[in-house]
Amino acid sequence: MQLKSLYKPVRILSFIVLALMLIAALYAFTMTGLHWTGINV
């Protein structure tokens, strides 16, 4: 019972998570740009 066949689906899931991380970072930078003039710099 070693669940070898699960490697591929979990690996695909890891790429989805990596993509979500990238989207979250891009979203954060986009919001930084949009709010730049309102931020007390």
Partner 1 sequence: MRYKSQSVAYWYFAVAMVLFGLQLVFGLLSATKYLGPDPLLYILPFDVTKVIHTNLLIVWVLTGFMGATYWMIPDESRTELYSVKLAYIQLILWTLMGVTAVIGYLFRYGTGNKLLEQPLPHKLVIVICMLIFLYNIGMTIKRSGRFTTTEGVLVLGLVSSAVLFFPALLHYENYTVSIFYRWWTIHLWVEGVWMMIMGGFLAYLLIRLSGADREVMEKWLYVIVGLVFLAGILGTAHHYYWVGVPYYWLPIGGFFSALEPLAIVGMAMYAYGAMRRSGLAHPNVLALHWTLGSAIFTLFGAGLLGLAHTWPSINKWTHGTLITAMHGHAAFYGAYAMIVLAMISYALPSLTHGRTERGSSIGYWAFWLQLGGMFGMTLSFATAGIGQVYLERIMGMGYLDAQLKIQIHFVMLIVCGTLFSTGVGLFIYDFFRYRPRFEVSEPEVTDNEVAVGRVV
Structure tokens at 38: 């309102």
Name the minimum Å distance from CB 34 to partner 1: 7
At residue 37, the 3 state secondary structure works out as helix
At residue 22, the 3 state secondary structure works out as helix
**Residue span 2-41 as binding mask against partner 1, x where in contact by CB under 8 A, dash where not:** xxx-xx--xx-xx--xx-xxxxxx-xxx-xx-xx--xxxx
Query: Element (H or E) spanning 31, and its range?
Result: helix 7-34
Query: Interface residues with partner 1 (CB under 8 A)?
Result: 1-4, 6-7, 10-11, 13-14, 17-18, 20-25, 27-29, 31-32, 34-35, 38-41
